[in-house]
A and B are shown apart, each in its own frame.
Chain A
């Protein structure tokens, strides 16, 4: 059918190809440009004379003797302890993903196997909770957390992010478990398993595709978060995203912007790899929510 369409309407085919090329340019160019620019000095990446300098690296050669420099990376990772933020991000995302998935699989499974009315209401409540702007919730936490003296720790942020993530996780896993036939666990129960044993021995072995997809989105939520981590963590415990924001506070100093640029590129790399390997799961995850929601 594709071939037929293009034969009938070559103008349309040309137009749509041009459109795609334009879109790909818009989508990819900012990343390529920033990646390239992160190896230059500030005078080139923000060139007063000519933006072509960022390509040729005129000032970079003048200042460092070579067309590429790792100064920005050195400044961010070594001088400004960006490695510490990277470790913090690692800890936060790891625990958020693991805990979210544990809670989510149990809850999502229960919701998919219950025919009572309250299961429906829990899902609706989750939908409403999904719509809450995160910063409004943060403004509810801050004062109690100060009073309880639990403000500023990674563990607090992890728990908060797990909770914020629950509505989405529940919905995703609920619709995934719905697609696993009831007969499977029910026959295990006929054979004498308790509900939990049936879950452990029959459902857990077949649930990994759904769990991996949901896990990817939990990872993205924890990794990309700014509202929670910027307000609930102390300076030393900052994760990467608020750390980058704090680089910007001191942009006046020559070279400091390049620290932020390199930090941004560094923080983008894991996301890049994630899409590279899990593209299919991400696409199927976005669609699963759409088809069932």
Chain B
């Protein structure tokens, strides 16, 4: 296809991505270097019957004026990145100097908002991704053994947790684990502890969110693996059976190698999706015990009265750096494949 034709065909799509994905990335990097204006203060003299006193007041008009002239705020350099709400270099330095042991040091770091969110995001990604792959694979194997009449309905039901809106899915589970809800009450009865609540403690909240994540994403892995299973070569499978391979050995030495490209694919998609975990924290109302990078950005933008653009932008930039670290191995691999092909 000649360049000119290609250009006209790709233009709408490329323009949309350029303006609404590439430019915003530039926009957050720029915004992160600025911070909201300080309010303009004026000193006024109040004279009453008991003499005069000086008072400092906020000059609302002047503040609004300044805000209009320079909507970005004032230039702040990298100070937003290093402040307490982000990388917190000073606090870490102080903790390093003062903490008696490593555990205390780690505890202090994890009480800083950015590191708290980062630790949950990484833990969520690291726990949910492998579970989803393994469970999805097992379900695919099991469904593949069912009589074909049952497969359709089983796949239908299996798709539901994935297709559901993440916020709605997490709300549905959240109501069930409420201490007055069906699962919450059952767990209390099983543990024989009427005060037990999944929402109260940090570890239990984390586990709940992990379980939700696995519930939500397993169908995706299942469907991909199930489709892959349909393409496992029959000949290889039969020769393995003739050679006396057990069911387990057939799965281990025939099915798994055949599915390994799909394994990589599911893993990659899951890494990307789990790293942006956000809705479950809103749905489970879990911010007291668990926050994610996406959630603190949202909170900066919508939580406070006025949006903290600079702070949100700095966290966004750091998140994007995280994403690119996550993607680097994939990109290097693609690049190698590409250059090898010439």
Footprint of B on A, CB under 8 Å? 1-2, 5-6, 8-9, 12-13, 16-17, 19-20, 23-24, 26-28, 30-31, 33-34, 37, 45-48, 50-51, 54, 102-104, 106-107, 109-111, 113-116, 119-120, 122, 124-144, 146-147, 159-160, 162-164, 166-167, 169-170, 195-196, 220, 223-224, 226-227, 230-231, 241, 244-245, 248, 257, 260-261, 264, 267-268, 271-272, 274-276, 279, 282-284, 286-287, 289-291, 293
Which residues of B (306-328) have their CB < 8 Å from a CB of A?
A: 307, 309, 312-313, 315-316, 319-320, 323-324, 326-327
Would you call A124 and B334 a contact (CB within 8 A)? Answer: yes
Would you call B13 and A24 a contact (CB within 8 A)? Answer: no
Query: 5 additional contacts, CB 8 Å, given A167-B21, A268-B164?
Result: A31-B164, A136-B320, A164-B20, A283-B155, A290-B224
**Also in contact, A139 and B227, with CB within 8 A (given A106-B10, A134-B276):** no
Q: Chain B residues near A260: list those with CB within 8 A.
A: 171
0/1 string, B151-163, CB within 8 A of A gives 1: 0101111111101
Closest to A55 in B: B182
Closest to A230 in B: B302
The DSSP consensus for interface residues of chain B is helix
Would you call A20 and B146 a contact (CB within 8 A)? Answer: yes
B143 contacts chain A at the CB level, 8 A cutoff: yes
**Also in contact, A159 and B165, with CB within 8 A (given A135-B294, A275-B156):** no
Q: Chain B residues near A13: list those with CB within 8 A.
A: 145
B204 contacts chain A at the CB level, 8 A cutoff: no
Candidates A109, A120, A224; contact of B338 at CB < 8 Å: A120
B105 contacts chain A at the CB level, 8 A cutoff: no
8 smallest CB-CB distances across A and B, nearest first, come from A140-B24, A163-B20, A107-B13, A110-B9, A133-B276, A287-B227, A136-B316, A46-B180
Footprint of A on B, CB under 8 Å? 1, 3, 5-6, 9-10, 12-14, 16-17, 19-28, 31, 71-72, 138-139, 141-143, 145-147, 152, 154-161, 163-169, 171-173, 175-176, 178, 180-182, 185-186, 215, 219-220, 223-224, 226-228, 237, 247, 262, 265-266, 272, 275-276, 278-279, 282, 285, 293-294, 297-298, 300-302, 307, 309, 312-313, 315-316, 319-320, 323-324, 326-327, 330-331, 334, 338
The DSSP consensus for interface residues of chain A is helix
Give Cα distance in the complex from A75 to B313, angstroms.
Answer: 39
Q: Chain A residues near B262: list those with CB within 8 A.
A: 290
Q: Chain A residues near B20: list those with CB within 8 A.
A: 137, 141, 159-160, 162-164
**Also in contact, A128 and B25, with CB within 8 A (given A46-B175, A226-B282):** no
Give Cα distance in the complex from A107 to B9, angstroms.
Answer: 6
Closest CB of chain A to B273's CB: distance in Å? 9
**Also in contact, A163 and B176, with CB within 8 A (given A133-B323, A241-B165, A290-B227):** no
Would you call B161 and A27 a contact (CB within 8 A)? Answer: yes
